[in-house]
Structure 1
Amino acid sequence: MSIIQTTEPGEATGDVAEIYADDERTIGYVPEHTRVMAVNPEAYRAWEQLIRAIASPLGLRRYELVTLAAAQGGHSAHCRLAHGNRMRTLIDEEQLEAIARDYRHADLSAAEVAMMEHAERISTDAPDMTEADAQRLREVGFTDREIVDITLAAAARNYFSRAIQALGVAVDVPPGLSDRLRGALLAPL
């Protein structure tokens, strides 16, 4: 239970009802983080627009991998579970479990590993990042635009993760996750 009072799904009206309905349509339920963030529906909609602007040029697979790594660095069980669940349509469960446990040894491309390392570092050590961090991404083929998009995706995940953590949002376990995948996503961060 969060520290914020939220509107029950059956009692929501206006923008909040629309936000809830979007989650019902796309994931089958309204997670607590949606309920809390929808207390300010204008900010929630702006957040969604920001994520679309970042994710679209990256592509869904890259965006979700960056998000998973940033959530790992930021110790966000909320986001690891939510985005691990979303990744089930992009990656088979066995590889997804391997990625969740140790993406460096999960049969990803060198570019994907470098991108995830960059995202995780943003969550743990952003003030000490230098040109060398960007150069590592260039060496595996990323353009400056892609480096900016990877950085924005990781930084945005940190914003959202920190907000829901600070507001005491309970961790929702998405329905349908296997015990093994849930365990991998929740392994000590």
Structure 2
Amino acid sequence: MTYLDTPDESPLYAADAAICGFVPNYTRVFALRPEVYQGWLQLGGAVRNGMDLRRYELVTVATARVIGSKYCGLAHAQKLQEFYDDEALSAILRDHHDAELAPVDVAIMDFASKVATDPTTITEADAETLRRFGLSDGDVFQIVLAVSLRRFFSGVLSAVGAVADQEYEKLAPEIRSAVDAFGARSSHS
């Protein structure tokens, strides 16, 4: 689950088990610092509440792909099943350019990928590309926030060797295979 010794019991476990139906490995990691987890939940909620959920999840999987986070890729692929069937979702996970997404969604995922790769390369021209699709500066900022949020959380999980929960084995093989390729693009897991 992780190379860290995590607590056998934590008040976090019951709450997340009620939401997820199991205690995620990431919750066990954050049980080492419950106050940080509570701060994470608050920040994450604020960022998610500022965006359309489907857009948030597309940004999240684009970020997970770039940084090689299989755990986050699987978790958020599962959430995207609300919006896409398995075939469409596996196409998005493999290469969003070939997934028959709306041009605005491709542009958003391209922007998220660029921010995730190296945020110092973002310029006014990148924001202008999104504005041409009708996004406001607030929308652009929300994408930056979502990517930065994912970089933090995925970075923590990768750095402590957290592995994806068994629950994600229930995802369709083509989805799991597409996410498995995330690790081939990066040294992170």
TM-score (norm 1): 0.90
- RMSD of aligned Cα (Å): 1.4
AA aligned to 1:37 is: F
Kindly report which structure 2 residues correspond to 1:97-176, keeping only aligned pairs within 5 A, or say none: 97-173=90-166, 174-176=168-170
Measure how far apart 1:52 and its partner are. 1.0
Aligned length: 182
AA aligned to 1:20 is: Y
Kindly report which structure 2 residues correspond to 1:8-47, keeping only aligned pairs within 5 A, or say none: 8=8, 12=9, 16-17=10-11, 19-47=12-40
AA aligned to 2:89 is: L
- Mapped to 2, the partners of 1:22 and 1:186 lie a distance apart of 29
CA contact (8 A) 2:86 2:174 kept: no
- Mapped to 2, the partners of 1:98 and 1:140 lie a distance apart of 22
Say which SS state the counterpart of residue 14 (structure 2) adopts. helix
Matched, 1:6 2:9: no
Q: Tell me what 1:84 maps to.
A: 77
Which of 164, 167, 176 is matched with 1:182 structurally?
176
- Mapped to 1, the partners of 2:81 and 2:27 lie a distance apart of 20
* Identity score, percent: 39
Q: Tell me what 2:50 maps to.
A: 57
- Mapped to 2, the partners of 1:20 and 1:93 lie a distance apart of 30
Measure how far apart 1:171 and its partner are. 3.0
Segments of structure 2 that go 5 or more residues without pairing to the other structure are none
Measure how far apart 1:175 and its partner are. 4.0
Superposed CA offset, 1:93-118 (max 9, x none): 21111101111111211111111111
- Mapped to 1, the partners of 2:101 and 2:112 lie a distance apart of 15
- Mapped to 2, the partners of 1:107 and 1:121 lie a distance apart of 20
Greater CA drift, 47-56 or 172-181: 172-181
Measure how far apart 1:23 and its partner are. 2.7
- Mapped to 2, the partners of 1:112 and 1:39 lie a distance apart of 37
Say which SS state the counterpart of residue 38 (structure 2) adopts. helix
Superposed CA offset, 1:50-79 (max 9, x none): 111111121210110000001111111111
AA aligned to 2:176 is: R
Measure how far apart 1:143 and its partner are. 0.3
Runs of 4+ that moved beyond 4 A:
none
- Mapped to 2, the partners of 1:90 and 1:40 lie a distance apart of 34
TM-score (norm 2): 0.90
Superposed CA offset, 1:123-155 (max 9, x none): 112111111111111111110001000100001
Segments of structure 1 that go 5 or more residues without pairing to the other structure are none
Which of 62, 65, 73 is matched with 2:66 structurally?
73
